[in-house]
Amino acid sequence: MTNKIIEFIDKFVKLTDEESQLFSASFREVKVKKRQFIVQPNFTTRHRHYVLKGAFRSYVVGDEGQDHTINFAIDDWWITDYNSYIFQQPATMFVVALEDSIVLQIDYEQEQELKLSNHKFETIFRIMAERGLAFQQRRMISNLTQTAEERYENFVNKYPQIVERVPQYALASYLGMTSEFLSRIRNKRSSKKS
């Protein structure tokens, strides 16, 4: 299973066999049950997770008890509470499995050691950070400039595999709308196709 992470990394940085072995040996395979939390508020996040198989949702809960989805992660995606992980301070969000899942996790100290040991490893994590930042920026711009219908259409077109695997309430929360409003958008979309 650790070969899968090397295949993913290989898209961005070419590693030698020895480097691949060292990199993958720094991760540990963990099975996560559906509804199990891998990050919870007030606990410092010790791990970054690469999803081998499964689906996760990160979210925060507002003062009025309303939850707000921050991110999803499915196969070949990464997830954690990055603010907590990077700064080693208490988490502010939940990360929960939406399906029975398998992740490869690396702990904070091991990641730091990897980055110090080889410039290529540092490059891998920098590229992941840059891609994550670009994704968050696109999402922010989308939320500020597009209608709810446009946000949904764009998400469905770009991430159909996520739409199929996450509950409607979580998708609605991610897109900044109620489940009822998302249902109306979906119904309107289906009647246009008929």
Shared-domain flag, residues 86 and 130: yes
Higher pLDDT, 3 or 123: 123
pLDDT the model gives residue 193: 67
Assign 103 a pLDDT band (cuts: 50, 70, 90).
very high
State the pairing for strand pair 101-107/47-53: antiparallel
Sheet holding 55-61, edge to edge: 37-39, 94-97, 55-61, 67-74
Claim to verify: residue 111 and residue 141 sit in the same structural domain: yes
**Structure tokens, 98:** 């939406």
Same domain (yes/no): 172, 139: no
Range of the domain at 171: 147-194
Tell me what the pLDDT averaged over the chain comes to: 94
Residues 166, 78 share a domain: no
**14, pLDDT greater than 90:** yes
Reported as a single tens digit per residue, the pLDDT across 20-44 is 999 999 999 999 999 999 999 999 9
Residues 103 and 154 in one domain: no
Cβ atoms 32, 26 nearer than 8 A: no
Same domain, 155 and 61: no
For residues 35 and 89, membership in a common domain is answered with yes
Residues 118 and 137 in one domain: yes
Residue 29: closest CA among 110, 112, 101, 129:
101
**Angle, alpha carbons 24-137-181 (nearest 5°):** 105
Where do runs of H (alpha helix) occur along 36-147? 82-87, 108-117, 119-145
* pLDDT score for 190: 75
pLDDT digits (tens, 9 = 90+) for 42-55: 999 999 999 999 99
Give the list of residues 6+ apart from residue 169 with CB closer than 8 angstroms, or none. 179
Question: 60 — phi, psi (to 5°)?
Answer: -120, 160
Structure tokens at 156: 């469905």
